[in-house]
């Protein structure tokens, strides 16, 4: 994996506290979901890239709370990689 990976990562990409920023896609319009720091600094959100670039009304996807969204994705990944007992002996 090191051989195929990027030699240098963009500093914003590696320092982001949003694990899924740019990786997760909006279910409505297909644009990337972007991590958004809140004004109060307490809770973070994932926001559709269309909404961030074009403003209100560009997409109807709501703001997704960072903790709940990342937790849901991690739970789903764990379910999908758990070995399945399909061959009798596994």
Q: Which residue has the higher pLDDT, 5 or 74?
A: 74
**pLDDT single digits (tens) 21-49:** 888 999 889 999 998 887 777 789 999 98
Q: How far is CA 76 from CA 57, 68, 71, in A?
A: 30, 12, 9
Domain residue ranges in the chain = 11-81
| pLDDT reading at 12 higher than 90 | no
- Residue 34 forms beta bridges with which residues? 47
Handedness of CA 16, 74, 63, 24 (dihedral sign): positive
Cα separation, 49 vs 30, in Å, equals 9
Q: Which residue has the higher pLDDT, 51 or 87?
A: 51
């Amino acid at each position: 994996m090191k051989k195929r990976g990027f030699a240098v990562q963009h500093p914003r990409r590696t320092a982001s506290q949003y694990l899924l920023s740019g990786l997760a896609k909006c279910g409505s319009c297909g644009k990337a979901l972007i991590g958004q720091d809140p004004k109060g600094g307490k809770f973070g959100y994932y926001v559709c890239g269309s909404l961030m670039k074009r403003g209100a009304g560009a997409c109807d996807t709501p703001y997704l709370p960072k903790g709940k969204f990342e937790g849901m994705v991690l739970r789903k990944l764990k379910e999908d990689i758990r070995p399945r007992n399909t061959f009798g002996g596994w």
